[in-house]
Structure 1
Amino acid sequence: MVHLAGIVCGGQARTGLTSRDEGDVMKQGIIWRGALLVAVLAIAQSALAQGVAAVRKQAEASLRVTGSINIATDGRVESVELDTPEKLPKGIAAFVGRNVAGWTFEPVLVDGKPRRALTRMSALVVGKSLGDGQMEVSIRGADFGDDQAIPEAERVSGRQMKPPGYPMAAAQSGVQGTAYLLVKVERDGSVGDVATEQVNLRIAANEAQMNQHRERFARTAMAAARKWTFAPPTVGEQATQPHWVVRVPVAFSFQGQAPRYGTWEVYVPGPRARPMWAPDEEAPGFSPDALADGGIHLAGEKRGPRLLTPLDGA
């Protein structure tokens, strides 16, 4: 089964989860997650061909944590409420909550006066193996946009978006992954251009094989996207734009094997590329795969309150 999923890649903000001042429970969690990463990679559906060891060292594990943040009039975080924290791996809810509590936002102004605000949050938590069964955990990206809160008439929405088929060679090899598309939407809702920003693979093979699979997913996803149609915004500040650029992640996964909320997804991240027609880079801390599932995400747009502090809260 192939499904379309809004997921949000940028600089990494390390959290210090592996520092020696963390509690014993946290340390045990790091070791356990590191062991899980090694175990999953060991059974990855790929021949252990020459060069695969170097690729495996690039592997990461990630999960997205969503919730709501209350922002004070001075921009400090008053409180954070995570969605279904009981579904998260041991220690992750406390880890994310502690870092979010140290964030400061640009004060939200209403009629020129600072006001308390409530914003949605989607944070990408990434784990990287350090060897010896340990894993460094960090918050790599965060998004504060809530596409569903914007009236449909004021945003780009999908009109006809048939998912791509599964590339035969990838299916036969058991390869799964996600292609992150940038789509240029014209005034009439047609697709003027499309590019693949990045392809992450849930497989470990040699570099040549990885590149072949990334190319297959990218080519297949872009071919489908060129036939999509969108409904442009008809009111609001976006309605007068000459065109729009949106992000649409396309996940290639087998039925019943798509990652569930609160579970680690092990993958090898691909290189990131941006076409000339893409808007200026997003704000620091932005990461495409931190975007919450579902929806079509406007690129280059200020999404929610502006975070002033690093993602590690320092």
Structure 2
Amino acid sequence: MRPLAVALLAALLATPLRAAPLPYTPSVAEELVIQAPVLATRVDGWIEVGTDGRVAGYEPITELGEPLRSRLRTMVDGFRFEPVLQDGRPVVARARMRLSLVAQELPDRSLRVGIENVTFPDPDGAERPADAPLLKVARRAPIHYPEGIAGAGFDVRVVVAVQANPDGSLRDVSVRQSALVHGKGREAEVQKLLARFETAALRGIARWTLSIDNPTGRPLQADELVGAVVVHFTVENRREPRPGVWAWETRTARRDAPWMDQQVAARLPGVGDVTGQDAFDGLREPRLKLQTDLRQLAL
């Protein structure tokens, strides 16, 4: 946990960001909404869901100490899912699952730990249907740490939503959410800091090109040409917090670009759902659909 220095930021944030003009204007919020800092971590594992939608098995991969491990297993065992159908009949389904945990400080200085979100990462594409469109990065432009502030050692994570044209060029890039990792600070300071990193991420990704594998043989719909990019800005020799390790995060509120409908927005991850090892992800509808209301649960 590292407070931001007002005098240092005043000098650093005055440094201009020089870059060539973009081929279009990315979606940028005029003023970022900064949320209260939270302690956060991620827990990865495998889950098996029976034909009745109940949890048949849960195998955490992330190392956790007690009593959190036992409490988390008990909570997951109580999850309820929509039964997965194959040829119209319910089947047993197994998938990789990530639990995004947050601990929020209460007025009495105690912490309330809960599950913020449940996602189903598929880094190897194992869950992708054979006839589903596949988006990959064909050409990357570099993304640079903002000028003049590398010496301050800020760790920042930015999740960017991308909308592609059918030829793989990008139609728009829009920041979904960003976070200062390992840090707290005054709202105005964090707001200016994250705006610098968001701009740097957008300027790099706006010059990327995607390759689109379309086995369907039909024109793709707009919601099939959307992906998410995770950018982790860090200084040399600094590692992203690994799953299971708690770290303070000061986040912006999630934002929806004008072109996002509710279904696309629901599939886009936030900073709490990803790690620095996640890169580009062509969004897909997960096989498992959780019915349990996470807002009612606390560890």
What range is the shorter-chain TM-score in?
0.7 to 0.9
Match of 2:170 in 1: 191
2:244 aligned with 1:244, yes or no?
no
How far is 1:66 from its partner? 0.9
> How many percent of aligned residue pairs carry the same amino acid?
27
How far is 1:127 from its partner? 0.9
Change in 2 beyond 3 A, CA 1:186/1:267? same
Code of the residue aligned with 2:179 in structure 1: it is N
d(CA) in 1 for partners of 2:230, 2:218: 22
Change in 2 beyond 3 A, CA 1:238/1:184? farther
d(CA) in 1 for partners of 2:176, 2:117: 16
Match of 1:126 in 2: 102
Contact 1:185–1:193 (Cα < 8 Å) also in 2 = yes
How far is 1:190 from its partner? 1.3
d(CA) in 2 for partners of 1:238, 1:107: 29
Match of 2:200 in 1: 220
Match of 2:83 in 1: 107
d(CA) in 2 for partners of 1:239, 1:156: 14
How far is 1:134 from its partner? 2.3
Gaps in structure 1 of 5+ consecutive residues: 1-39, 50-54
Match of 1:303 in 2: 286
From 46, 59, 84, the equivalent of 2:4 is 46
Match of 1:64 in 2: 42
d(CA) in 2 for partners of 1:239, 1:262: 42
Code of the residue aligned with 2:225 in structure 1: it is W
d(CA) in 1 for partners of 2:36, 2:156: 15
After TM superposition, the score normalised by the length of structure 1 is 0.74
Match of 1:16 in 2: none
Match of 1:290 in 2: 273
Contact 1:59–1:266 (Cα < 8 Å) also in 2 = yes
Q: 89-98 or 216-225, which moves further after superposition?
A: 89-98
d(CA) in 1 for partners of 2:267, 2:167: 33
SS of corresponding position for 2:251? coil
d(CA) in 2 for partners of 1:225, 1:286: 17
Contact 1:140–1:285 (Cα < 8 Å) also in 2 = no
d(CA) in 2 for partners of 1:265, 1:291: 13
How far is 1:214 from its partner? 1.2
How far is 1:257 from its partner? 2.9
From 152, 175, 178, the equivalent of 2:157 is 178
d(CA) in 2 for partners of 1:277, 1:205: 32
Q: 89-98 or 191-200, which moves further after superposition?
A: 89-98
SS of corresponding position for 2:191? helix
Contact 2:44–2:96 (Cα < 8 Å) also in 1 = yes
d(CA) in 2 for partners of 1:313, 1:130: 17
Change in 2 beyond 3 A, CA 1:101/1:284? farther
d(CA) in 1 for partners of 2:214, 2:269: 28
Q: 213-222 or 278-287, which moves further after superposition?
A: 278-287
d(CA) in 2 for partners of 1:88, 1:238: 46
SS of corresponding position for 1:183? strand
Change in 2 beyond 3 A, CA 1:237/1:133? farther
How far is 1:195 from its partner? 0.9
From 250, 259, 264, the equivalent of 2:246 is 264
d(CA) in 2 for partners of 1:138, 1:46: 27
Matches within 5 A, 1:7-86: 40=1, 44-47=2-5, 58-84=36-62
**Residues 58-114 of structure 1 deviation map (CA, whole Å, 9 limit, x = unaligned):** 210111111111111111111101104xx2244332222111111111111111111
Contact 1:89–1:262 (Cα < 8 Å) also in 2 = no
How far is 1:146 from its partner? 2.1
Code of the residue aligned with 1:276 in structure 2: it is P
Match of 1:22 in 2: none
SS of corresponding position for 1:263? coil
Superposed CA RMSD in Å reads 2.9
From 155, 160, 164, the equivalent of 2:139 is 160
**Residues 128-184 of structure 1 deviation map (CA, whole Å, 9 limit, x = unaligned):** 122555211010001125252126983211222344111124323332211111111
Match of 1:206 in 2: 186
After TM superposition, the score normalised by the length of structure 2 is 0.78
